[in-house]
Amino acid sequence: MNLYQYTAFVPHDAMLIWNGFLWTFGIFASSTVLGSLLGFLLALLLHARVPILAWLVAGFVELFRNSPLLVQLFLVFYGLPVVTSFSPSATEAAILTMTVNTAAFMVVIVVAALDAVPRGQWHAAISSGMGYPQVMRLVVLPQAVRTVIPPAIVLAVGQLQTSSLVSIIGVNELARAGTILNNRTLRPFIVWPVIGLIYFVMAKLLSHFAARVERRVRARITWFAPAT
């Protein structure tokens, strides 16, 4: 029996990569959407200095921004079943961890954007009799959204690359498809450039798409009438 009999690429390998792509996209998209929403809510708690909760949010952010995603992933995947009755599948662990991790970074982005709205805007709004929720909704958030978008895109592109780490706990996403192909064909300089290229194209498309959204948002909440 020839040890090297399966080293050739076969048509089915394309399916392996395609499935990997779908999983990567699914995990990335769900954790980015959920993580952004969660981060947004936590940022509001932190910004409003809600007693105790704000303190907890600050601690959560510090913890998750300053520890490796891989460690967080291991804690969720291997650790949760030990201390709770919840034993997540690899995919669940991946989405949960990436969501929470994204949220931690999003909190910082949103709080910075809220803080960037000048004090005078608060003064004008509260001195006309608005309460905190009204000031936030009508005056501060619409202005903060513009500031949030660019760093949020940078974060998303970063998280897309980082999602390759979840291959380690056995999620069949793109990086794991690469590992499988590499182990079988022993041709790293063919396999990894292809995988890398797919990530690259995804990241580029994401930035491109996000830039378009940003332009549209800017057009909708523009502070200047369109040039005539």
183 counts as binding other proteins under rule CB under 8 A:
no
Task: Pick the closer one to other proteins by CB: 82 or 225.
Answer: 225
Stretch touching other proteins by CB under 8 A, among 40-48, 108-116, 126-134, 150-158 = 126-134
Q: 3-class DSSP state for residue 200?
A: helix
Amino acid at 215: R
- In this chain, which stretch among 62-70, 81-89, 199-207, 216-224 interacts with other proteins, using CB under 8 A? 216-224
Distance CA 198, CA 188 (A): 15
What ranges make up the beta strands (E) of 118-221?
A: none
Using CB under 8 A as the binding rule, whether residue 2 contacts other proteins is answered as: no
Q: Which is nearer to other proteins, 142 or 158 (CB)?
A: 142
Q: Sign of torsion, CA 17 36 90 63?
A: positive
Select the residue interacting with other proteins from 139, 155, 175, 177 (CB under 8 A): 139
57, 206 contact by CB (below 8 A): no
Q: Does 71 bind other proteins (CB under 8 A)?
A: no
Structure tokens at 113: 């954007």
* Count of Cβ atoms closer than 10 Å to residue 187 Cβ: 13
131 binds other proteins (CB under 8 A): yes
Query: Which residues sit at the interface with other proteins, rule CB under 8 A?
Result: 118, 120-121, 123-131, 134, 138-139, 142-143, 221-225
